[in-house]
A and B are shown apart, each in its own frame.
Chain A
Amino acid sequence: MKPREKTTFWDKVGSIDNKYLYAGTIAVTMLVIFSGIPPIIAAETSWNIQKTYDYINTLQEGDVVIYSADNNAAYFLAHIPGSIAVLRHAIQKRAKIIMIGCFLIDGSIMTKLIILPQIQSVLTEYGYEYGKDWVMFGFITGGEAALSSFYGNLQMMKTDVFGNNIEDLPVMKDLHDLNDVRLVIQGGVFVRQQIRQVWAAWDKPLINVGLAGAAAWYPVYVQAGQLVSFVHGWPGGAEYEKLLGYTGMATMGVNGLSVLWMVTAVAIIIGNIGWIGKKLEGGS
């Protein structure tokens, strides 16, 4: 009879059921979120957030800004705080806002359901009137081709998301194409497509409000001059909220995020140590 293999410590570490890891991670994160610990945000603002902030600070009253929500429900929450902060800043500079959605249908729905209620107070505070200072066109079907058409002819959408005719929207009166727009802000992950249609086709500035991973992916576009700057998910949103001087969703949730990343890193390190330990013992 074959002798039973001795179960080592590393075997036990490697055989922990995933559901216990998930449950433990979520429990720790929720504990931190509900604990009421004050948010811990880096003292120094990231270069990309400062660059975004400085650029939006140069907006003048009446400048037209297009906000394109190109995300689905799964990713949307990741860039909401950044989008809200950037839009609040643009509203404080009294820019005209045009909201659209492209590539993924959920973006425009989530803009209406989540972003709009959050910025409503700022719109009211600055006396923004729908149709005169801001407008929402909703989802534009057709992907990059539709986006290209829209940027080439801003009068393409004959009605807005609420059913108003474009002729009844004074903000769209003198807008023909992207030459009449000062800045495009994209909330989503379709950066390459937007760079092609905004920077390459029209040589217009583009700011991306994306996921936390954007901090590693998008500097190359900024260095190439194709992107003005970007806001990287919740950490970026928290830093932007700090610059604007208000406590938003990102600031309140940043502790939970940090803890989750730490727990994930610790789990990966333990996993790697376990693998190395097994290798050293002669296991496979």
Chain B
Amino acid sequence: MLLLDMLTYALVVFFLISIWSFLIKDNVLFRFAQSIYVSVAASSLTVMAISSIQKVAFTPLIKGQYIYLIPIIIGLLIFTTFSRRYIYLSRYPICIILGVTIGLTIRGTITTSIVGQISTMFRMAKITTPMATFNSVVMTIGAVSAISYFFFHFMHKTQGGRIIQKIGRYAIMAAFGTQFATRIMYIAVFPVNNLFYTFMTGPPLGFQWVSYPIVIMYLVITYLVLRRTK
């Protein structure tokens, strides 16, 4: 068990550094790690899907709930995609899945993403402290002008309309800048997370020391490869 834990951890470190070696140069170890990742992800997805079908559909069927035969048969119709003669049957399960997904999405989207957000914007307009008032004014002007930039194309014909649309452009640019900054921020977190988890914490038994020889081995191989290719 101890050996298995150590081996697992060594593999974690090996694959982590193999993937990161791409930052230096595309190499065979990166491609190897990439292939392993894709194949493991695909196979685990397949296993999970089969396990889910077994739990949700076959187990109740075996226990006597024969109503589950209907969704099982409809689900199996998807495989008629491979038959040129019966391919039309695969449209039924696809339509059912699409219809259910769209229905569930729209049901919640109008309340949460449209009505909810617009009403919050106006409810947030506070005239309490000077800072809150300033924030409310900036937010309202920014939101209205950004929307007008997209929807009211006729506004560019008047001087006032052009000013509002210019403000809208700046508001959109500020929003994109914030999006970019937060994306950089959270993407930058991943290497620290991986470094820390791999080299500082590791499995409960503390196999951090396993990572050091692997890192040293990698550095030596990189040095030898780079020296050879000069």
Contact = CB atoms under 8 A, between A and B. Distances in A.
Nearest to B194: A77
A156 B65 CA distance: 13
Contact of B193 (A22, A141, A225, A234): A234
B144 interface: no
Residue from B25, B105, B112 with most neighbouring chain A CB atoms (10 Å): B112
B108 interface: yes
B140 interface: no
Chain B interface main SS type: helix
Interface string B162-198: 0000000000000000100111111011111111110
A211 B101 contact: no
Given A105-B44, A199-B112, A260 B182 contact: no
Interface residues on A, range: 35 or more
B196 A212 contact: no
A139 B55 contact: no
B111 A78 contact: no
A122 interface: no
A226 B191 contact: no
Nearest to B184: A264
Nearest to B59: A158
B49 interface: yes
A211 B124 contact: no
Interface stretch (A8-16, A51-59, A216-224): A216-224
A43 B82 CA distance: 62
B197 A224 contact: no
Contact of A144 (B44, B45, B101, B197): B101
A200 B107 contact: yes
B112 A249 contact: no
Contacts of A216: 178, 181-182
B35 interface: no
Residue from A75, A109, A144, A253 with most neighbouring chain B CB atoms (10 Å): A253
Interface string A28-62: 01100110000000000000000000000000000
Interface residues of B, number: 55
Contacts of A75: 190
A143 B52 CA distance: 12
A256 B195 contact: yes
B117 A224 contact: yes
Nearest to B57: A158
A196 interface: yes
Given A19-B24, A30-B195, A220 B120 contact: yes
Contacts of A148: 104
A30 B200 CA distance: 10
Contacts of A23: 23-24
A204 to B, nearest CB: 13
A176 to B, nearest CB: 16
Interface in B30-80: 41, 44-45, 48-49, 51-53, 55-56, 59-60, 63
A196 B44 contact: no
21 contacts: A18-B23, A26-B195, A30-B199, A33-B196, A75-B190, A77-B197, A80-B197, A140-B52, A143-B101, A158-B60, A196-B109, A213-B186, A223-B120, A234-B189, A234-B192, A252-B201, A257-B192, A260-B189, A260-B192, A261-B188, A264-B188
List of 8 A-B pairs having minimum Cβ-Cβ separation, nearest first: A196-B108, A77-B193, A141-B52, A213-B186, A213-B182, A224-B120, A253-B196, A200-B108
Given A105-B48, A200-B111, 10 more contacts: A25-B191, A26-B191, A29-B195, A77-B193, A138-B48, A141-B49, A159-B59, A211-B186, A260-B191, A268-B184
